[in-house]
A and B are shown apart, each in its own frame.
Chain A
Amino acid sequence: MALSSMRGLSVFISDVRNCPNKEQERLRVDKELGNIRTRFKNEKGLTPYEKKKYVWKMLYIYMLGYDVDFGHMEAVSLISAPKYPEKQVGYIVTSCLLNENHDFLRLAINTVRNDIIGRNETFQCLALTMVGNIGGREFAESLAADVQKLLISSSYRPLVRKKAALCLLRLYRKNPDVVNIDGWADRMAQLLDERDLGVLTSSMSLLVALVSNNHEAYWSCLPKCVRVLERLARNQDIPQEYTYYGIPSPWLQVKTMRALQYFPTIEDPNTRRSLFEVLQRILMGTDVVKNVNKNNAAHAVLFEALALVMHLDAEKEMMSQCVALLGKFISVREPNIRYLGLENMTRMLMVAEVQDIIKRHQAQIITSLKDPDISIRRRALDLLYGMCDVSNAKDIVEELLQYLSTADFAMREELSLKAAILAEKFAPDLSWYVDVILQLIDKAGDFVSDDIWFRVVQFVTNNEDLQPYAAAKAREYLDKPAIHETMVKVSSYLLGEFSHLLARRPGSSPKEIFNIIHEKLPTVSTSTIPILLSTYAKILMHTQPPDPELQNQIWAIFNKYESCIDAEIQQRAVEYFALSRKGAALMDILAEMPKFPERQSALIKKAEDAEIDTAEQSAIKLRAQQQTSNALVVTDQCYANGPSPIVPAVGPLTLVKVPSMSGSEEHTAVDQALTQSNGTLTKVDSQPPSDLLGDLLGPLAIEGPPGAAVQSEHSAVTEVEGAPSAVDVAAIVPVGEQTNSVQPIGNINERFNALCLKDSGVLYEDPYIQIGIKAEWQAQHGRLVLFLGNKNTSPLDSVQALILPPAHLKMELSLVPEIIPPRAQVQCPLEVLNLHPSRDVAVLDFSYKFGTNMVNVKLRLPAVLNKFLQPMPVSAEEFFPQWRSLSGPPLKLQEVVRGVRPLPLEEMANLFNSFRLMICPGLDPNPNNLVASATFYSESTRAMLCLIRIETDPADRTQLRMTVASGDPALTFELKEFIKEQLVSIPTAPRGPTTAPPAPPVVQPTSPAMALTDPGAMLAGLL
Chain B
Amino acid sequence: MIKAVMVINTQGKPRLAKFYDFLTVDKQQELIRSVFGVLCSRAENVSNFMEADSIFGPDSRLVYKHYATLYFVFVFDTCENELAVLDLIQVFVETLDKCFRNVCELDIVFNYSKLHTILDEIVFGGQVLETSSAEIMKAVEEISKLEASSNSITLVPKTVSGWRNR
Contact = CB atoms under 8 A, between A and B. Distances in A.
**Chains A and B belong together in one complex:** yes
Given A3-B140, A251-B128, A375-B50, A208 B110 contact: no
B17 A254 contact: no
A134 B125 CA distance: 7
B109 A339 contact: no
Given A65-B28, A251-B84, A300-B83, A335 B158 contact: no
B146 to A, nearest CB: 6
Interface in A1-59: 1-7, 9-10, 13, 17, 47-49, 56, 59
A399 B37 CA distance: 30
B143 interface: yes
Given A92-B116, A336-B86, A201 B147 contact: no
SS class, residues of chain A in contact with chain B:
helix
Interface in B33-88: 42-43, 45-51, 58-59, 78-79, 81-84, 86-88
Interface stretch (A163-171, A792-800, A863-871): A163-171
Contacts of A254: 81, 84
B155 A49 contact: yes
A84 interface: yes
Given A4-B148, A62-B25, A170-B126, A9 B113 contact: yes
B10 interface: no
Of A62, A249, A251, most buried by chain B (CB within 10 Å of CB) is: A251
A7 B158 CA distance: 13
A672 interface: no
A362 B158 CA distance: 60
Looking at B49, B58, B154, which has the most chain A CB atoms within 10 Å of its CB?
Answer: B49
B129 interface: yes
Nearest to B53: A614
Interface residues on B, range: 35 or more
A65 B59 contact: no
A293 B87 contact: yes
A162 B160 CA distance: 23
Contact of A339 (B49, B78, B90, B142): B49
Nearest to B149: A84
B65 to A, nearest CB: 10
B87 A3 contact: no
B158 to A, nearest CB: 6
A10 B88 contact: no
A3 B160 contact: yes
B124 A84 contact: no
Interface string A53-93: 00010011011111100000000000000011100100010
Contacts of A56: 112-113
A122 interface: yes
A401 interface: no
B162 to A, nearest CB: 9
B4 interface: no
A197 interface: yes
A340 interface: yes
Given A3-B144, A132-B125, A162-B129, A335 B155 contact: no
A59 B119 CA distance: 15
A92 B119 CA distance: 12
B82 A340 contact: yes
A380 to B, nearest CB: 12
A372 B46 contact: yes
A616 interface: yes
Contact of A85 (B20, B42, B83, B147): B147
Contact of A616 (B59, B84, B113, B142): B59
A1 B127 contact: no
A304 B78 CA distance: 12
A858 interface: no
A376 interface: yes
Contacts of B87: 244, 250-251, 293, 296-297, 300
Contacts of B120: 1, 129
B58 to A, nearest CB: 5
Interface string A351-380: 000000000000000000000111110100
Contacts of B144: 3-4
B130 A162 contact: yes
A4 B147 contact: yes
A244 B131 contact: yes
Contacts of B143: 1, 3, 122
Contacts of B109: 13, 17
A932 B112 CA distance: 56
A882 interface: no
A339 B48 CA distance: 9
Contact of B20 (A6, A133, A251): A133
Contact of A296 (B51, B58, B79, B90): B90
Given A3-B140, A49-B155, A614 B117 contact: no
A715 interface: no
Given A162-B130, A166-B124, A614-B58, A49 B25 contact: no
A235 B109 CA distance: 39
A340 B86 CA distance: 13
Given A296-B90, A336-B83, A202 B114 contact: no
Contacts of B128: 201, 205, 251
Contacts of B134: 241
A801 to B, nearest CB: 38
Contacts of A845: none
Nearest to B113: A2
Contacts of A13: 109-110, 112
A707 interface: no
Given A1-B143, A129-B124, A65 B130 contact: no
B127 A169 contact: yes
Nearest to A88: B147
A521 B103 CA distance: 66
A977 interface: no
A421 B108 CA distance: 50
A202 B90 contact: no
Nearest to B151: A85
A55 to B, nearest CB: 9
Nearest to A196: B135
B125 A241 contact: no
Contacts of B129: 162-163, 166, 198, 201-202
A205 B140 contact: no
B125 A296 contact: no
Of B25, B29, B49, B125, the most chain A CB neighbours within 10 A belong to B125
A169 B125 contact: yes
B155 A7 contact: yes
B6 to A, nearest CB: 10
Contacts of A242: 131-132
A563 interface: no
Nearest to B163: A3
Contacts of B110: 5, 9-10, 13
B55 to A, nearest CB: 13
B38 to A, nearest CB: 9
Given A133-B20, A336-B83, A336-B86, A375 B158 contact: no
A100 B22 contact: yes
Given A300-B81, A336-B48, 7 more contacts: A4-B155, A62-B25, A198-B130, A297-B83, A338-B47, A376-B46, A618-B78
The 9 residue pairs across chains A and B that have the minimum distance between CB atoms: A300-B83, A99-B22, A132-B125, A373-B46, A3-B144, A241-B134, A335-B47, A65-B29, A2-B113
Interface of A: 1-7, 9-10, 13, 17, 47-49, 56, 59-60, 62-67, 83-85, 88, 92, 99-100, 122, 129, 132-135, 159, 162-163, 166-167, 169-170, 197-198, 201-202, 205, 208, 212, 241-242, 244, 249-252, 254, 258, 293, 296-297, 299-300, 303-304, 335-336, 338-340, 372-376, 378, 613-614, 616, 618, 621
23 contacts: A1-B113, A1-B114, A1-B120, A3-B144, A4-B159, A5-B158, A7-B155, A56-B112, A64-B14, A83-B150, A85-B150, A88-B147, A100-B22, A122-B142, A129-B120, A201-B129, A205-B127, A254-B81, A293-B90, A296-B90, A336-B83, A375-B46, A376-B46
